[in-house]
Amino acid sequence: MTSSSTPAPDSPRAPESRRPLRRLTARGRGEAHRAATPLELFFDLCFVVAVAQAGLQLVHAVAEGHAGEGILDYAMIFFAIWWAWMNFTWFASAYDNDDALYRVVTLIQIAGVLVLAAGVSRAFEDHDFLAVWLGYVIMRVALVAQWLRVAGSSEGPERTMALRYAAGVLLCQIGWLGLVVLPEDSRPWVFLVMVVLEMCVPPYAEKVHPTSWHPRHIAERYGLFTIIVLGETIAAATVAVKTGIDESDALGELLPIAAGGLLIIFAAWWIYFVVPIHGHLRSNRQAFLWGYGHYLVFASAAAVGAGLEVAVEQAVGKAHISTLAASAAVTLPTALYLLTVWALHSRYFKVGITQQLVLPTTALLVICCTFLGEWAVLAAGCVSALAVATGTTLTAYRAGRENRQTVRAPAS
């Protein structure tokens, strides 16, 4: 894959592109052949370390019968992971000039991600958020430096926008210190307040001047991260099944879970990529809602992998929960994923009530599978696969009918 940040050899900007330090100016929203860069892919892969740590801690919490507390901690940690990723992604879509300083600052952000990942287990087990906060400090200071570079390379409303971003990020980072210094009982409330403040920074900053993010690039970046999260889900579930077989010789009990989990993940991939979403991202308002909504897409996709691990542990007698609870650990995040993907973009490409109801109905049926005991995961996988088949058939039928109408129209 070629980095989109490097102009073609005959481009007027080509001589400037060879300079190690360049002005950090906005890229064009209509730029042709824009694709994810190798640095962005490296960034995503490093983020998966933090996603894997959060999923692992969720498995431990649910398997030990502390689902409520575990889900709350998971929601908090995953927000920190997702929000840092999203801040970088949208900034890079608008301002990636791929010079030496930009690369170095991005690598510093990656170092912050790894510090955050190292602190995930203590945040879950002891509610000690110091390492997570320090990782965030590293990432956010680097991001502020990038915004200040933009401010120094621009003027007028764009400069104001960049300064608003820098100030907002810094002030929010100070607010997150509440998770470290305030009493433990107050931390969920600190988290809720800070989530609202963080999500208000982009609309506030871009009120004076929108960033020139690239629709195709943003859609590709989100799609790639979805693939990475689903890949991590498969890897975690595979390791859990292998361990269960090696330690307990429970192949018969684990095969339905493995088969059902694989069908769920395959269906999740198919359903997400069945529609070209970049054409729908026409305005900042649409993009904000779509981008923010992916918190639930990513978090639920990663939680499916954690749920499959819980189901495996319960099947081999290592989890201290019922079969119903273990099944719910898989079916509930699967249903949430289906509903969120439908709400964010699938529904915009469906015509007629039949097509519109496929994914919501599937989500409801997946939840009903929770009560099928040891066959719950396999049943949920079959239902998810059936949804893909139904949606594909309806789409093909509609396309065929439109083609027949098109052929008949000239004759009439």
Does 303 score more than 90 pLDDT?
A: yes
- Whether residue 27 lies inside any domain: the answer is no
Span 17-25, mean pLDDT? Answer: 76
- Whether residue 6 lies inside any domain: the answer is no
Mark which of 177, 205, 233 sits at the end of a domain.
205
> If pLDDT is split at 50, 70 and 90, which confidence band does 135 have?
very high
Residue whose structure tokens are 């060879």:
18
Q: Which amino acid is at 205?
A: A
- Whether residue 8 lies inside any domain: the answer is no
User: Is 160 in the same domain as 300?
Assistant: no
Does 9 score more than 60 pLDDT?
A: no
The model's pLDDT over 362-393, given as tens digits with 9 standing for 90+, comes to 999 999 999 998 899 999 999 999 998 887 78
CA–CA dist 385, 268 (Å, integer): 9
- Whether residue 18 lies inside any domain: the answer is no
Question: In the chain, pLDDT over 70 holds for what percent of residues?
Answer: 88
> If pLDDT is split at 50, 70 and 90, which confidence band does 316 have?
confident
Identify the CA nearest to 376 among candidates 263, 260, 264, 266: 260
Q: What is the mean pLDDT of the chain?
A: 86
The model's pLDDT over 250-272, given as tens digits with 9 standing for 90+, comes to 788 888 999 999 999 999 999 99
Span 36-64, mean pLDDT? Answer: 91
User: Is 136 in the same domain as 235?
Assistant: no
User: Is 200 in the same domain as 252?
Assistant: no
> If pLDDT is split at 50, 70 and 90, which confidence band does 4 have?
very low
| Both tokens assigned to 386 | 């059936």
User: Is 136 in the same domain as 187?
Assistant: yes
Contact residues for 260 (Cβ-Cβ < 8 A; gap 6+): 330, 376, 377, 378, 379, 380, 381, 382
Does 312 score more than 60 pLDDT?
A: yes
- Whether residue 136 lies inside any domain: the answer is yes
* Backbone φ/ψ region at 69: left (φ over 0), alpha (ψ -120 to 50), beta: alpha
Residue whose structure tokens are 């970088």:
88
User: Is 82 in the same domain as 125?
Assistant: yes
CA–CA dist 367, 333 (Å, integer): 9
> If pLDDT is split at 50, 70 and 90, which confidence band does 17 have?
low
CA–CA dist 331, 151 (Å, integer): 47
CATH assignment at residue 320: 1.20.1410
Give yes or no for a contact between 206 and 162, defined as CB atoms under 8 angstroms apart.
no
Predicted pLDDT at 274: 81
Strongest mean pLDDT among 243-247, 263-267, 316-320 = 263-267
Distances (CA, A) of 387 to 268, 304, 309, 363, 393: 10, 18, 24, 10, 10
- Whether residue 25 lies inside any domain: the answer is no
User: Is 196 in the same domain as 51?
Assistant: yes
Predicted pLDDT at 12: 37
Distances (CA, A) of 150 to 110, 257, 259, 381: 20, 50, 50, 47
Mark which of 182, 205, 228 sits at the end of a domain.
205
User: Is 330 in the same domain as 399?
Assistant: yes
Q: What is the CA angle 30-287-209, rounded to 5? A: 70
- Whether residue 395 lies inside any domain: the answer is yes
Contact residues for 212 (Cβ-Cβ < 8 A; gap 6+): 26, 27, 28, 29, 94
* Residue 407 CB neighbours (<10 A): 9
Predicted pLDDT at 348: 62
Q: Which amino acid is at 355?
A: Q
User: Is 108 in the same domain as 230?
Assistant: no
Does 151 score more than 90 pLDDT?
A: yes
- Domain residues for the domain of 113 are 36-205
The model's pLDDT over 62-119, given as tens digits with 9 standing for 90+, comes to 998 888 889 999 999 999 999 999 999 999 999 988 889 999 999 999 999 999 999 9
- The 3 state secondary structure assigned to the chain is CCCCCCCCCCCCCHHHHCCCCCCCCCCCCCCCCCCCCHHHHHHHHHHHHHHHHHHHHHHHHHHCCCHHHHHHHHHHHHHHHHHHHHHHHHHHHHHCCCCHHHHHHHHHHHHHHHHHHHCHHHHHHHCCCHHHHHHHHHHHHHHHHHHHHHHHHCCCHHHHHHHHHHHHHHHHHHHCCHHHHCCHHHHHHHHHHHHHHHHHHHHHHCCCCCCCCCHHHHHHHHHHHHHHHHHHHHHHHHHHHHHHHHHHCCHHHHHHHHHHHHHHHHHHHHHHHCCCHHHHCCCHHHHHHHHHHHHHHHHHHHHHHHHHHHHHHHHCCCCCCCHHHHHHHHHHHHHHHHHHHHHHCHHHHCCHHHHHHHHHHHHHHHHHHHHHHHHHHHHHHHHHHHHHHHHHHHHHHHHHHHHHHHHHHHHC
CA–CA dist 166, 148 (Å, integer): 7
CA–CA dist 330, 321 (Å, integer): 14
User: Is 62 in the same domain as 130?
Assistant: yes
Predicted pLDDT at 7: 41
CA–CA dist 186, 53 (Å, integer): 24
